[in-house]
Chains A and B, each alone.
Chain A
Amino acid sequence: MRVETRWLGRLWPRTAKSRRAVTGYLFILPFILGFLLWFLLPALVAAWLTFFDWNMIQDPTFIGLENFRHIFRDRLFIQSLKATTYYTLGSVPVSLVMAFLIALLLNTKVPGMAVFRTIYYLPTIVPAVANAVLWNFVFSTEFGLMNALLRALGLPKVPWLQDPEWAMPALIIMSLWGLGYTVVIYLAGLQGIPEVLYEAAEVDGAGRWAKLRHVTIPLMSPVIFFNLIMGIIGSFQVFIAGYLITAGGPQNATLFYVLYTYRTGIQYFNMGYAAVLAWILFFIILGLTLLIFRYVGRLVYYEAL
């Protein structure tokens, strides 16, 4: 030990300031290496791949912008964009509104509140695979739970996963089961609203609706905004539901964007084109986020403190 420290002593900087700098960098060294090797390097490889035709067996051939040109002829690319947009439009707004209402209900003092909060959160921790297996059965046309419920209401059977018209609504319903995560974030926001504001509103004669409209919603708008962005980012990357439950079908009705990228790259080994698809998704998400910041962000009320 002694010898080692003496040997190290020569390299070890003298001043406290430079010593701190070296220690700091030693502490974050694992992260820096991780950033370079698992983030920057793959990103560069992905950029490089976009100009090549490569099936991982033969040598990559440089094809310039051919991969980008192919996009405009690719019917499945359009279909996967359509399916993903449909899913996003179906699941994000509904789950934002429903989660908000549930959070409002959960933010009261009625008996058994802790139990209720747990129940609403529980579905979000179910492993995605188990979730897929369960919902596959729930939507089974002949023996499934969903059609049993419809029957109890006197409605006819729906071929959920066999009909291109119904497959996507089925996956959207399934996604709503997992809105507990959004609820928890709303709840945290609701609990941060100072009680004084409600009292002041009451003094001014505000009723329930006025308090919600003029206190809760404005103060919650940053949280709603956050959940909107996270919801869109998440739903554009949905994969497992389409891969395990419907396998993209029927008739590519649930061919999600990431599923199409996965197939192109990992199953058909069309690496260059898959890299292009991945980058396009990145720019779509980035563009959407910026658009939302620009047009929805101005509705957000930030407390002037």
Chain B
Amino acid sequence: MATQSETVSVTRAPGARLPSRRLVNGERLWRALTWTLLLVGACVMLLPFLWLVTSSLKTELEVFQYPPKWIPNPPQFQNYIDAWTTKPLRHPGFGIYLKNTFFIVILNEIAILGSTSLCAYALARIDFPGKNFWFAVVLSTMMLPGVVLMIPTFVLYSRMGWVNTFLPLTVPHFFAASGGGAFFIFLLRQFFLTLPPELADAARVDGCSELGIYRRIMLPLAKPALATVAVFTFIWSWNDYMGPLLYLSKDPNKWTVALGLAMFRTFMWQRTRWDLLMAASTMMIVPIIVIFFLAQRYFIQGIVVTGLKG
């Protein structure tokens, strides 16, 4: 046995590099340092989350304790029910806000996936005059800061009587005309370009129309990229505050969750009820975190594609 292990170690020795398990002392120290730094940083990143959740489970008195208590005893799960159900006069409460938000989110998913994938496919795989020009137009719309268009768009919507309706928050998406529209066209175009052109050529020879190629061949193959767009769309629509603030804030029956939470902060309760506000915030964050964990792969992919090659 002893000789055997000896021979093994002898045969290993001439290898250019050490096997990864046997680290040199310096390397091991370096790794421990890296790990410790990462751990400290991670604790700092998690602290506000922890603060949010413990505060949401405190009684109103415990919230005002100083120095703060980290473990509420007993945890006030009632806060979540209270935050969900209390509503001022003539205000419908979070149930309706949630319904409105989902209505907007679902419409936007359909609108954005449809309009951006059509445009992206044409820009990637159909040869037509002016294609490069229109691709340049797509890219240039990403350069203009959204604020420049905020004022004139508000003016136009007011003239059209679209303020206090869901129209400003949904209709533009059917025309890929939202903050993220150009972004998504770009992302999907890059993806369509990675698919082998022979697939479409073969289908064309068989007499398949461009629409047929797009629908039956390209869309099924583009599922990962479409999932990325869908995840981003969900998160942007769910988190959007500026849009609802500009166009829905006058009519409480049309508020979204984001708008409801922002408004409740100021006038929901006679005094600032941090316990209930933290419970409401937690409820708004949880769906996003769930989506994030379910679709983490697509999410990171999307950032890398749009970020690095943008």
Most buried by B among A23, A140, A244, A279: A23
Contact A133 B68 (CB under 8 A): no
B45 touches A119 (CB 8 A): yes
Q: Which of B156, B261, B307 has the most CB of A within 10 A?
A: B307
A-B contact count (CB 8 A): 259
* Interface hit among B6-14, B73-81, B220-228, B277-285: B277-285
Determine whether the beta carbon of B177 is less than 8 Å from that of A43.
no
Check B155–A27 contact: CB distance below 8 A.
Answer: no
Q: Is the CB of A127 closer than 8 A to any CB of chain B? A: yes
B241 at the interface (CB under 8 A from A): yes
- Of the stretches A66-74, A163-171, A258-266, A294-302, the one at the interface is A258-266
Give the shortest distance, in Å, between B110 (CB) and chain A (any CB). Answer: 13
B269 at the interface (CB under 8 A from A): no
Contact with B119, one of A21, A27, A120, A151 (Cβ below 8 angstroms)? A27
Minimal Cβ-Cβ distance residue in B for A19: B210
Main secondary structure of the interface of B (DSSP, over half): helix
CB-nearest residue of chain B to A279:
B148
Asked if A39 contacts B148 (CB within 8 A), the reply is no
Which chain A residues numbered 156 to 184 have a C-beta less than 8 Å away from chain B?
Answer: 177, 180-181, 184
Report B-chain residues with C-beta under 8 Å of the C-beta of A121: 300
Known A-B contacts A49-B155, A143-B274; the reply to A31 vs B262 at CB < 8 A is: no
Residue B100 lies at the interface, judged by CB distance under 8 Å to chain A: no
Query: A23: nearest residue on chain B (CB-CB)?
Result: B210
Q: In this assembly, does A228 line the interface, its C-beta being within 8 Å of a C-beta of chain B?
A: no
Evaluate contact between A23 and B128: CB separation under 8 angstroms.
yes
Assembly CA distance A97 to B148 (angstroms):
30
| Chain B residues positioned under 8 Å from A38 (CB to CB) | 149, 153, 172, 175, 177
Complex: A132 Cα to B31 Cα, angstroms = 36
A200 within 8 A of partner (CB)? no
Which residue of the partner chain, among A42, A44, A106, A148, contacts B68 with CB atoms under 8 Å? A148
Contact assessment for A119 and B46 in the assembled complex, using a CB-CB cutoff below 8 Å? yes
User: B126 contacts the other chain (Cβ, under 8 Å)?
Assistant: yes
A11 sits at the interface (CB 8 A): no
Q: A25-B128, A31-B119 are in contact. Are A240 and B155 (CB under 8 A)?
A: no
**Residues A281 and B147 in contact in the complex (CB < 8 Å), given A30-B118, A130-B281, A188-B308:** yes
When chains A and B are docked, how far (Å) is the Cα of A43 from the Cα of B241?
Answer: 22
A104 to chain B, nearest CB (A): 9
Within 8 A of B (CB), among A37-69: 37-39, 41-46, 49, 56
Let me know if B304 is at the binding interface, CB within 8 A.
Answer: yes
Nearest residue in B to A110 (C-beta to C-beta)?
B35
B129 located at the interface, meaning its Cβ lies under 8 Å from any Cβ of chain A in the complex: yes
B132 CB to nearest chain A CB (Å): 12
Interface size class of B (residues with CB under 8 A): 35 or more
**A102 to B45 Cα, complex, angstroms:** 12
Q: Is B19's CB within 8 Å of the partner chain A? A: no
**Given A237-B147, A282-B148: A185 and B177 within 8 A (CB)?**
no
B113 at the interface (CB under 8 A from A): no
Tell yes or no: A33 within 8 A of B by CB.
Answer: yes
* A-B contact sample (13 more), CB < 8 A, given A184-B307, A188-B304, A271-B155: A20-B128, A20-B210, A30-B174, A30-B175, A34-B172, A116-B42, A127-B238, A129-B259, A137-B55, A177-B45, A223-B308, A226-B308, A278-B148
- Interface residues of A, Cβ cutoff 8 Å to B: 20-25, 27-28, 30-35, 37-39, 41-46, 49, 56, 102, 105-106, 108, 110-112, 115-116, 118-123, 125-130, 132-138, 140, 142-143, 145, 148, 151-152, 177, 180-181, 184-185, 188-189, 208, 223, 226, 230, 233, 236-237, 239-240, 244, 258, 261-262, 265-266, 271, 274-275, 278-279, 281-282, 285
A-B contact pairs, 13 of them (CB 8 A): A24-B122, A27-B121, A35-B141, A120-B41, A120-B45, A122-B292, A134-B48, A237-B146, A261-B147, A265-B150, A266-B154, A278-B150, A282-B144
Closest 7 CB pairs of A and B: A34-B175, A24-B128, A34-B177, A27-B122, A38-B177, A45-B152, A42-B152
